[in-house]
Amino acid sequence: EGSHLVSPFQFREDGFLVLEHFFSLEECDSMRSSIQRILEGMEVPPHCRTEFSTKEEEQLQAQGSSDYFLTSGDKIRFFFEKGVLDEKGNFLIAKEKSVSKIGHALHAHDPIFKQITHSSKVQELGRKLGLERPVVVQSMYIFKTLTPLLLTAVTPHQDATFLHTEPLGRVLGFWIALEDATQENGCLWFIPGSHTSGVTRRMVRAAQGASTCVEFVGSEPPYDDSKFIPVPISKGGLIVIHGEVVHKSEMNSSRFSRHVYTFHVMEAKDTTWSKENWLQPTPELPFPLLYT
């Protein structure tokens, strides 16, 4: 723990930066207990409780899910793995194993996550990376728990597909391992240097009245599997992720979960946040400045 030799050069070369033991084990455990507390108070959202028959009602349910997602930017909301709830909204497996992630404003509404996001070491890292006016755009807690039903892998992607800016390259992810992330339980894999050729696919808000809430414009190129390298990291480690670097995670094939807290910042100086992004700042929660 403590101060790290940060190499902005390495980051610019590879498109990601691995900082082992950036947070203490105590800090990791405090985030985990905070999430336990949030889970204990969890209400299953209404759109997950519906017993449907007609097409029309199914569309309403889809609309309910998309509104729940689109308006989650300034709230703490729960997103479930597929197949864990019956149509009455009852859990088919343990409640804490059924949530895939919690987002997207933990950094604003939970004191522990707020403290971690704006901690002096994160601010110092931002300055070392040359960020002048970074703002926090979203945060998520990801469980990556294994249950036999849910062998989910995260396909290769670039974060800028979902968080688009003009010019590109102004978004950075901070990915914090709250447990050891290994090849067995689904650590990240990167294609080093893949952050220099822009993005070919964007997720944008669909037009009003469309049946889905978002749509994809463009397509993901095929990636050469042999170019990915695994980046395991131990509990408390931080990976800084360039918005355009190609990364993925494989499914968790271990008996252990892989909890992660992650948040994205944007360099707001001379940058425009796309109006087409699914996530938008709100009057209640403008994107807060990282530096306090």
pLDDT number for residue 56? 84
Asked whether residue 226 is domain-assigned, the answer is yes
Q: Is residue 286 part of a domain?
A: no
Token pair, residue 95, equals 């409640």
Residue 199: inside a domain: yes
Separation between Cα atoms, residue 224 and residue 123, nearest integer Å? 35
Domain region containing 14? 8-273
Q: What separation in angstroms does the CA of 124 have from each of 4, 22, 72, 196, 286?
A: 10, 12, 29, 25, 22
88 lies in a domain?
A: yes
Quick count: other Cβ atoms within 10 Å of Cβ 104? 25
pLDDT at 151: 59
pLDDT in tens, 228-275: 999 999 999 999 999 999 999 998 888 888 999 999 999 999 999 999
Tokens of 290: 């990282």
114 phi and psi angles, rounded to 5 deg: -65, -45
Look at the block and give the residue holding tokens 């062998």: 151
Distance of alpha carbon 52 from its chain centroid, rounded? 31
- pLDDT given for residue 1 in this prediction: 46
Helices (H), the chain: 8-14, 25-40, 55-70, 95-98, 106-109, 111-117, 120-128
Q: How far is CA 286 from the centre of its chain?
A: 19
Tell me what pLDDT residue 146 has. Answer: 62
Q: DSSP per residue over 245-267, as a string?
A: --EEE----SSS---EEEEEEEE
CATH number of the domain enclosing 133: 2.60.120.620
Place of tokens 């009245």: 209
Count of domains for the chain: 1
Assigned domain for 110 exists: yes
- Does 44 reside within a domain? yes
Would you say residue 42 lies in a domain? yes
Q: Is residue 279 part of a domain?
A: no
Residues of the chain with pLDDT below 70 are: 1-4, 146-152
